[in-house]
Amino acid sequence: MGVILKWMLPLILALWAGCSLNAPMAGSGTDIGKPPFPRTKSILPLAINNSWIFSYTEYNSLGRKLIPNDINLHLSITGEYGLTLDNTLVPMNTTNYSDVFSAYAYKFEWEAPDSGYLVVYHDLYPLPKRGLYIIGEYAGGVMRLYPSEKLWLAYPADSGKTWEYNLDSAGDSSKTSTMELLSTHERFYFPNTGSMAALSFCDCYLYKKTNGNSVSYYYYNQNIGQLGYLEYVNGTLRVTYLLKSYNVRS
């Protein structure tokens, strides 16, 4: 954990949004036509139109920032579906929002419009299998479900839990990553709005992903979603993105 802490202090000062900061909250009770998602809280808040903006920076092999840096990186939930027992996706609307489905799938979209992954939170699985799964992907209106769903983020779970993660349907073992839940109560610090000299913190799940010489750390809070990301290659910091603002429907 020492290598993380070495970089966290200078990085956290760039974070604009956090647990106690004022962030716009959608869903104040007026979205009466929306399904009541999620049924229980996921480690990533799942509701259509939830969105996050991160400050993204890359570094060279010497650890120096590449120009341009502090680029805005956008993430959003752009659609929602009911998932039937035979894995049919049913678009949710005001006429079927009260129907019962085995699970609910959401469009998880980084930057590129109408292109991303389909994610499902399985809260009814046995505790050791609960978590956020990726079940397929979509692009240009075409959806493709994977032959089997992929556990992405275990939640709830105990620290020390490990699992394998690979989205490659051809089974290329070089694309398999080892995931580990390092902590369920990791502190992610950010400036306090009431006092710029003080720091506040969010309680986070800290996930570690390892693939070859690349090691990444993901910080997630169940009320906000992802707060930060750090990627190291051969021990050198190469990528960071830190939450600047968010719009999450409770």
How far apart CA 145 and CA 123 sit, in angstroms, is 20
Per residue in 122-175, pLDDT tens? 988 999 999 999 999 999 889 999 999 999 999 999 999 999 999 876 677 888
- Say whether pLDDT at 2 is over 70: no
What per-residue confidence (pLDDT) applies to 92?
A: 86
What is the mean predicted confidence (pLDDT) over 8-35? Answer: 43
Spell out the domain ranges in the chain.
2-28+36-247
DSSP count for the chain of H helices, then E strands: 1, 13
> Longest Cα pair distance anywhere in the chain, in angstroms?
56
Asked if residues 101 and 91 have their Cβ atoms less than 8 Å apart, the reply is no
**Single-letter amino acid code for the residue at 19:** C
How far apart CA 210 and CA 217 sit, in angstroms, is 9
Asked if residues 125 and 107 have their Cβ atoms less than 8 Å apart, the reply is no
Shortest CA distance to 38 belongs to which of 87, 83, 94, 85? 83
Per residue in 78-97, pLDDT tens? 999 999 888 899 998 878 87
